[in-house]
Every structure is written in structure tokens, then in C-alpha cells.
Amino acid sequence: MNPIPLVDLKVQYQAHKQEFDDAIAGCLAQTSFIGGPDHEAFAAEFAEWCGGGHVALVGNGTQALEFALRELLGPGDGVGEVITTSHNFIATGEAISAAGYKPVFVEVDAETCLMDSDALEVAIRPNTRAVLPVHLYGQMVEMNKVMSVAQHHGLKVIEDAAQAHGAGWQGKCPGEWGDAACFSFYPGKNLGAWGDGGAVFTRDADLAARIARYADHGREDKYRHPWPGTNSRLDGLQAAVLRVKLRHLDAWNDARRQVASWYDELLEGEEAVERIKNREDAIHARHLYVVQVDDRDQVLATLKEKGIHAGVHYPIPLHEQPVFSGLGYALDDLPITATVARRVLSLPLYPELGRADVERVVSTLKEALPL
């Protein structure tokens, strides 16, 4: 039997090959490799799709976070703190450090694996500068609560929306709650480029302009540089690809939701498989379909033997990462995070996945569960 991959980008490419070929040919004909019409058009189209506002396109999602922090808070001196969660990909912690701030990790809610807003409140100290909620797996953090805590303490809020293109909370999208939302266009994301890419969406035109110019050498014109900067640009070919994909994104997100609903239906009543809770206020973008099981590594290995390629997002929490050992966390400081990291398992999910494959994943998973 054919293996079922975690993500399948080939099928998407084949389905829309002509559109991609035309878009690439258009960009090549203009030789607009840095900046240019596709870059400008994609920034405007993505801002519109995010709910209306401003977009700064950058080289990747990690730097989207770094630059948003830097421009909202000013470059840090290692003392100011930014509160986020430890159950996450390393990028968020890296971005906080790169902007000159100290990451402070708080617990997640065991049912959603998202920032626990009560834990956030407790973690606020005189050096706290910002809150960085991570909309993991495609579900937004309870932003009404995060915003009320942040506003009460006068803190900036930068949303990590790398996995949340198309997510909502109480009818509002990422970036409509906080000061800015940072997206990744890593190929496997809901909106993925053919390489690296990222964006900051914000309702603040000046902030978007500052981030865009920081990402382009802090230039005023070609050889005049009044501001600090670096080189982190989304190139024209990526923008051309992303413009094609943006046209299909709503339909793809709906297809992801359909796949997730099949998993929900087929796993209903299976007590050994704890599904991530989908909160009522959330519109889930279904970037990943994650369950929690005992003996996760054995289950993962058995699935692989039977041709089902599941994944783990993420096995080592940030506070346990050697690179952050200097922050002084003990292994048992975040027990919910540590437990979740041992139990999470991501099942195959992509828009084109069919019902029969989902049935095969679920029946194989049931056989692989510990007795």
C-alpha cells in the first residue's frame, strides 16, 4: 500500500501547475527578482486577505517576529522580558533573543496546547515588555483574555501566526487583536512559498513601513541609509507563487477542516486518543491535526512501519533546549508542557487528503495504541 505522507506538496503543485508556470513566467519576463510588481501586489493582497491593514514582507517567519519585536519595543539589552510558551518550535524563542529580549516561558492549557492566560498574568514582572502568544496548530490563543491582561499592564502583543493563516478568535483574525501578527510562508504552512518567506501584518501603517525598511537595509533610496537595517527580503519569484496560492487559500483551509472533521468523527469515543480541543470561539485553520497518546514514540514508530508518516510538534520544549540553558529553567518547571511534549502526535493532514486515507490512518492508529 502507498505510504501516506504527513504533508504532500506535490499533489498541490500538479493540480495548479499551469497557474504556477504562468506566474513564474510573468516574473521571469520582467526580471523582477527583488521587489517588483509581484512583491508589491502580494503585500497588498495579503493585507486585504488578513482583514485590511498593512503588510511588511520579509525573508522568513523567524525574522518577521524578530523585526516586529524590534520595531515595537526598540532593540533590547537582554534585560527586558517577552512572555511566550515553551511548547513550540524554536523560532519564537530565537526571535525574542535576536531582538535583544529574554524569553520567559509560561504553561499551556493541556487541552489546547496554547498559552494559558492565567499563567501569563502570574508571569508578568517589572521587566516584562511584551506578550507573544503562539497560535499553534492553526488555533488561536484566547486573545480576548490575553489582550485584557496585556492592556492592564501596558504591554505590547505580537502574535505568532506562523501556523494560523485563516484562523480566527471571536470573529477576528491574527493581527486584529495584537499590535502585529507574524506569518511564515515555509513550504508546508497553510500558505507556503517554494522556499523561505515571512510577513508581518499590522493595522499600523508606520510600523509596517519601519519593518519593511529594516528588512531592506534601512534605506531611504538606493544608497542612502538613515536607519539601521539588514537584508531579509521576500523575493519576487516567491511573491509570484504566493499570489497564486493566496487565491486558493480559503478553499484549501476549508478542505483541511473537512479532513479534520473526518478525523473527529472516526476518533470519537476512542478514549486512548485525546484530541486537541477546538474552542467554541475559535475558527481553526487546521494547520496540523494533533492528538495526545501514551507511549507516543512507539505509536509513531508503528505507524511508520505501516506506511503512515505522522509527526511530532514538538518533542523538546524550548525551556529544555540546550540553547536556552542559560535562562535557568529546571526540567520540572513547566510540568504540563513537559507532559504534552511527550504525548503529542500529528496525523497526516493536507487539503487533498481523501476520506479513505483518513480511515486508513485512524484504523492503523487504533491498532498501534498501547494495550
Ligand X SMILES: Cc1ncc(COP(=O)(O)O)c(C=O)c1O
- Within 8 A by CB and 6+ apart from 320, the residues are 86, 329, 331, 338, 341
Nearest partner of 306 among 237, 359, 264, 367, judged by Cα: 367
Q: Does 84 bind ligand X (CB under 6 A)?
A: no
Nearer to ligand X, 134 or 155 (CB): 134
Sign of the torsion formed by the C-alpha atoms of 120, 281, 88 and 181: negative
Q: Which three cell numbers stand for residue 231?
A: 537584508
Q: Does 92 bind ligand X (CB under 6 A)?
A: yes
Give the Cα-Cα-Cα angle 160, 68, 114 (nearest 5 degrees).
20
Site string for ligand X, 197-236 (x = CB under 6 A): -x--------------------------------------
Number of amino acids touching ligand X (CB under 6 A):
15
Quote the CA–CA distance of 109 and 105 in Å, as a whole number. 13
Nearer to ligand X, 117 or 163 (CB): 163
Single out the residue of 72, 120, 124, 162 in contact with ligand X (rule: CB under 6 A).
162
- Compute the residue count for the chain: 371
Nearer to ligand X, 71 or 159 (CB): 159
Single out the residue of 163, 190, 238, 253 in contact with ligand X (rule: CB under 6 A).
163
Identify the H or E element spanning 66.
Answer: helix 61-73
Q: Does 184 bind ligand X (CB under 6 A)?
A: yes
Site residues (CB under 6 A) for ligand X, limited to 342-361: none
Q: Does 60 bind ligand X (CB under 6 A)?
A: yes
- Within 8 A by CB and 6+ apart from 298, the residues are 368, 370
- CB closest to ligand X, residue no: 61
Taking the complex as a whole, the smallest distance from the CB of residue 186 to ligand X amounts, in Å, to 4
Is residue 238 within 8 A of residue 195, CB to CB? The reply is: yes
Q: Does 175 bind ligand X (CB under 6 A)?
A: no
Q: What is the DSSP letter of 194?
A: S
Q: Which of the stretches 54-62, 202-210, 236-244, 297-305 binds ligand X when contact is defined by CB under 6 A?
A: 54-62
Q: Which three cell numbers stand for residue 85?
A: 510558551
Q: Does 139 bind ligand X (CB under 6 A)?
A: no
Q: Does 67 bind ligand X (CB under 6 A)?
A: no
Site residues, ligand X (CB under 6 A): 60-62, 88-89, 91-92, 134, 160, 162-163, 184, 186, 196, 198
